Amino acid sequence: MRENVVLKGKYQKIKENFLEKQTFTLLEAKKLFLETNPKTVSWDLYNMVQKKMIYKIGHGVYSLYKENENLSLGYEYFSKKTKAIYDKLQEYGYKTYISGIDVLNDELLHIPENYPVIVVVEKNGIDEVRDYLFGNNYNVITKKDKDIINHDFYNNKIDAIILAGEDFKLSCEGIAIKEKAFLDLYYVVTRFNYKFSVQELIRTYESMLRKNTMLKTILKKAALENNIKSEIEYIMGLKNIPQKAREFTKRYLEVIDSEI
């Protein structure tokens, strides 16, 4: 009984010190309890994980938040078109989930009146799902059709964009977790000329990090899906880059742009 009281006391101290942080390390926890044997601190963290007071999300890395805690408001808040596509996909045999704007609607200040729904589909089912939706009167494109979206005439007529997915733990009940939804939105904005402003994307990114509705550890893991891990890590580290390094990066990008 006394051990539980002591553990809860230590948990409260961790919560008070790390509530605003997305993650904390074993070393940071040991520094928080300098009067306690380091091995005891490790054991305490292990017990907190077992009791689901905290969550282990990597080697020596912990969080007060569950990895899949950042879920959307759900189906009820989807657009009419998204609901119809979601319902159709639930009847089909391949693994799929809705991503992008529909999952982030409570995070966005400005939602376009009309936008293509982002649908993530297991790789071996992309062509079949595209044909299935097309057969149900939805205009759908995949990565290999992305040049079409550069033409305004066609852009305004696209109902859905299909992206390939492998890790379906990044979704829950056919809906992406928020980290994956943001990354998929980022991906189509930067690759598909998707009608969503870069400025709003930046604002959403900073807001979600500030509110802890997006965890960096999950963001990095989810970035593997679209092969954008290196650029996401670069973006995440920008605030830590010295001014001279920023100047170098800016000038180097100008050189690269001039060579294109």
Q: What pLDDT score was predicted for residue 154?
A: 62
Amino acid at 208: M
Contact 157, 139 (CB under 8 A): yes
**pLDDT tens figures, 83-119:** 999 999 988 889 999 999 999 998 998 888 889 999 9
The runs of H, that is alpha helices, within 118-242 are 126-135, 152-155, 178-191, 198-210, 216-222, 229-237
Q: What pLDDT score was predicted for residue 232?
A: 94
Average pLDDT in the 73-77 region?
81
Q: What pLDDT score was predicted for residue 239?
A: 84
Helix (H) or strand (E) holding 57: strand 55-58
Phi, psi torsion values for 134, nearest 5 degrees: -60, -40
Counted residue by residue, the chain has a size of: 260
**pLDDT tens figures, 162-175:** 999 999 989 888 99
pLDDT exceeds cutoff 80 at 16: yes
Contact 74, 158 (CB under 8 A): no
Q: With cut-offs at 50, 70 and 90, classify the pLDDT of residue 206.
A: very high
Q: With cut-offs at 50, 70 and 90, classify the pLDDT of residue 24.
A: confident
Lowest mean pLDDT among 17-21, 179-183, 237-241: 17-21
Q: With cut-offs at 50, 70 and 90, classify the pLDDT of residue 147.
A: confident
pLDDT exceeds cutoff 90 at 132: yes
The domain spans of the chain are 2-63, 75-227
Average pLDDT in the 178-188 region?
96
Greater confidence (259 vs 199) lies with 199
Q: What pLDDT score was predicted for residue 10?
A: 93
Give the contacts of 168 (CB within 8 A, at least 6 positions apart). 95, 97, 122
Domain spanning 2-63: CATH 1.10.10: yes
